Amino acid sequence: MSFQVIALDGPAGSGKSTIAKILSQRIGYHYLDSGALYRGLTFILFQEFQSESKGNTHFSQFMFQYCANLPLHFWDIPLYLKFGQEGENLIFWGEDKLGEEIRTPELTRLIQYVADKAPCRDKVNREIRRIALEHPLVLDGRDIGTAVFPEAKLKFFLVAKPEIRAQRRAKELAEKGIPFDPKILETEIRERDKTDQERAIAPLRKAPDAIPVDTSDLSTEAVVNAILSRLS
């Protein structure tokens, strides 16, 4: 199998998604939002098996029990990502397109209980690799260059100081009218880094052949240009 993939990995808030979207436009590749697939799978799992939870509101316990022990035929559920006319990522459950229902704060809080389960990651990774056989892709994540496409020829690992990432996130929230203390965000980011680095399945780490890019003191345009200079 042959893939045309550029992998951008790194911790939360390092600028991966923003850079990946701009980079894909500059070079004529598709940007693939792997997080949207995890959101779709989380939504499907919750819809399909919420009756099995018997009213249990502790979704983490529910998912721990069911994700790893679902019958094999479940993993054939039709979860697809398709590209729209403008290259946007469209998530489908069979014939039904999933929209804002996979973007709610409630669903965001549930994703971790799905994304950390091996069968769930395998399901999403198979879909990503299927798409990569049909389209050249720019992908961002935490394990794209190590677990999903270890064979990718072009890998980058974006980092930034935790305090810088917290300031960026606080600015994003402020623009949405949601004030948030950067110090609290910094604490959460450091905790998220620790969790991502120590998780048993596909932990956050730099691939040996990935090119490091520190975005702390660089503008978005400077980061994009730094990556483009490595592609020529």
- State the amino acid at position 28 in one-letter form: G
CA distances for 108 relative to 36, 101, 135, 139, 223, angstroms: 10, 10, 28, 20, 28
Enumerate the CATH 3.40.50.300 domain ranges in the chain, comma separated. 1-29+136-232, 34-134
Strands 30-32 and 211-214: unpaired
110: three-class secondary structure by DSSP: helix
Global pTM reads: 0.83
Show pLDDT as tens, one digit a residue, over the chain (232 residues): 568 999 999 998 899 999 999 999 999 999 999 888 989 988 888 776 665 555 555 555 556 566 666 655 556 678 889 999 888 999 999 899 999 899 887 777 777 777 777 878 888 998 999 999 999 999 999 899 999 999 999 999 999 999 999 998 888 888 888 888 889 989 989 988 998 898 888 889 999 999 999 999 999 999 999 999 998 7
Rounded Cα distance, 124 and 184, in Å: 32
Whole-angstrom Cα distance, residue 229 to residue 222?
A: 10
Q: Do 75 and 119 form a contact (C-beta atoms < 8 A)? A: yes
Q: Topology of domain 34-134, per CATH?
A: Rossmann fold (3.40.50)
Q: How far is CA 29 from CA 20, 25, 128, 195, in A?
A: 10, 6, 14, 31
Written out in words, the top-level CATH class of the domain with range 1-29+136-232 is alpha beta
Residue type, 11: P
CA angle 12, 16, 18 (to 5 degrees): 120
The alpha carbon of 26 is separated from its chain's Cα centroid by a whole number of angstroms, namely 21
> 100-115 burial, b if ≥16 CB within 10 A, otherwise e?
eebeeeebeebbbbbb
CA dist., res. 52 & res. 196, Å (int): 29
